[in-house]
Each structure stands twice: as structure tokens, then as C-alpha cells.
Amino acid sequence: MKILITGSTGMVGRNISEHAGIKKYDLLLPSRAELDLFNFEAVKNYIAKNKPDFIVHCAGKVGGIQANINEPVQHCIQNIELGRNVIMAAREFGVRKFINLGSSCMYPKGIDEELTENKILTGELESTNEGYALAKIVTQRLCSYISKESPEYQYKTLIPCNLYGRYDSFDPTRSHLIPAVIQKIHDAKKRNINSVEIWGDGNARREFMYAEDLADCVFECVTRFNEMPPVMNCGLGVDHTINEYYEATAKVLEFEGSFSHDLSKPVGMKRKLVSVKLVNAFGWKARRSLEEGLRLTYEYYLSYKEA
């Protein structure tokens, strides 16, 4: 089977393409220079020429909370364009198996319980990343519409919780929570600074999964595609406070300083925990503990800094 993985140079795409199991397939891993996903004609030509049997759509414009606040237009329109181009080109040229990677920000804000797949579009979105969330919802709905109109085209969406791991971005202007925390604590330790600042009061709760676990789930979905539900979360089913992520990272980095809180900074949703009932019933569970994931990510960070 020939599989096209979009976004193959990003964190998610690279972790998927390096998964030991998925390497048994014939992988198409075009870089941005090889395939401009914003060019619909280029996408159609690539699919027509290479004839993939299966597409895993990982490409996207992503960023942390500040990047989403600063650039809502680009996070919205670019992700809509990416999804539309890849999905419609796949449909036009007869690709019948498709996994679209969504995001847990697709769920409404203000829900304190686990986020089940049927809660999409049942409430107001979190304002700090609304543009990105809307784009992800549009892409998921487009997949479902295609499958509804033409059942032979099975276009499904996997919704991961927040991710971190190898190939993550440590750019402070764009990074998500965990790489930002690693960067801040590493710098504080290196410069002998005894206090690290946390945005908000640190009580907001988040669920972060090591990216290799997501890659393993994607492999299982590719391998047992017919058993995969049309929309399915992928997560841990366990969350932690922002303060606890700082404390866990400090332990791994052996930082003995203290933390302060800047209450003027945005914090996003108070809680975002995806339900793992469907994915567990599918037969998959995440393997990495937070401490192990942080250790492996810090090892990657050190090698990234030295490169």
C-alpha cells in the first residue's frame, strides 16, 4: 500500500513516518519544496502522478497560544486551504482511504468533563484559538460529508490531545506549552536564574501526549482502518495542571528554583481532556509516562541546540 503523509517534515508527520510499523508501507513524504499544498493544481498533479492508496493529512499551520492570538486569520485560512486542497484532490483522483488529523481545540470551551466526539459544534469555542479550531472543524466536516455522499470513500478524523516530543518547535514565539517550559527552565538553569515565570495562576488543566504515541495510534488506524470509527479521539484520558507540568519538567531538568505567576497573561481553556473510551475500545492505549516523555523530549532538545 502506498501512503501519502502530508506535513511529513513537521513534528507529527516525522514521528509517524519514523514509526517502525509504518515503514513497511510505501511512503510518499514530500517536503514543502517538493509539493506546495496551498497550490490546488500542484496537489492534484502530485496525487494523479503518484497514485497513493491512502492519505494521512498532518500538514497545518500551528502555534502556541500567543501565535494563535496574534495571527487568527492565517491560522484559520491556511488550515482551511490545506484541508480543502488535500481532501478534494484525493476525492477527485479516487483515493478512498483518508485519515485527517484534527485537534482537541475543536471542542467547545467551558466543559469540565471528558470531551466526547459528539460534542463538536455543541457550544462556543475558546477565543484564543478560535480561528484554528474553526479550520479544523471545517476539515473534519468536509471528510464526513464526502463519506456520507459516497460511502466508498472512507474519510475519517483522528483528534489528538495536545502533543509534545521529538521535532517539536522550541521557538518561543510559536511553541506550545511543554517545549516552552523546557526552554524557559533550561535557560534559567544555564543563566543561574532562580525563578521561572508561569502565565496565569497555573491551575488550568491540560492533557499532553508524547508524539510517538500518536504515531503508534495512527499506525494502528492505518492497519485496521475498517475498524476505526469515523471520528475518534486519541489521548491519555489523564490531565495535569500547568503548575504540575512545570514541576515535572523542573524535576527532569534538575532545576531547584521557584516559580512566579503573571496573572495578566492569557491561559486559554480551563480544562481540555478528551475522552478515550472509543480509542480504548478500538484496542489502543498510550504507553509513555509524562516523566519518560519529558526526558526523551529534553534529550532531543539538547541535541537540537547542539546541531
CA 269, CA 128: separation in Å to the nearest integer? 9
User: How far from 172 is each of 11, 149, 163, 193, CA to CA, in Å?
Assistant: 16, 43, 16, 18
**Burial (CB count within 10 angstroms: exposed 0-12, middle 13-18, buried 19+), residue 225:** middle
Select from 235, 119, 215, 216 the least CA-distant residue to 167: 215
Select from 278, 234, 241 the least CA-distant residue to 259: 241
User: Helices in 254-289 by DSSP H: which ranges?
Assistant: 277-282
CA 138, CA 27: separation in Å to the nearest integer? 27
Taking the alpha carbons of 120, 125, 126, 130 in that order, is the dihedral positive or negative? positive
CA 292, CA 94: separation in Å to the nearest integer? 42
User: How far from 270 is each of 40, 126, 143, 166, 241, CA to CA, in Å?
Assistant: 38, 10, 29, 27, 9
Grid-cell match 502506498, residue found = 2
Residue of 25, 46, 107, 132 with catalytic role: 132
Active site residue 167: no
Q: Catalytic site residues?
A: 132
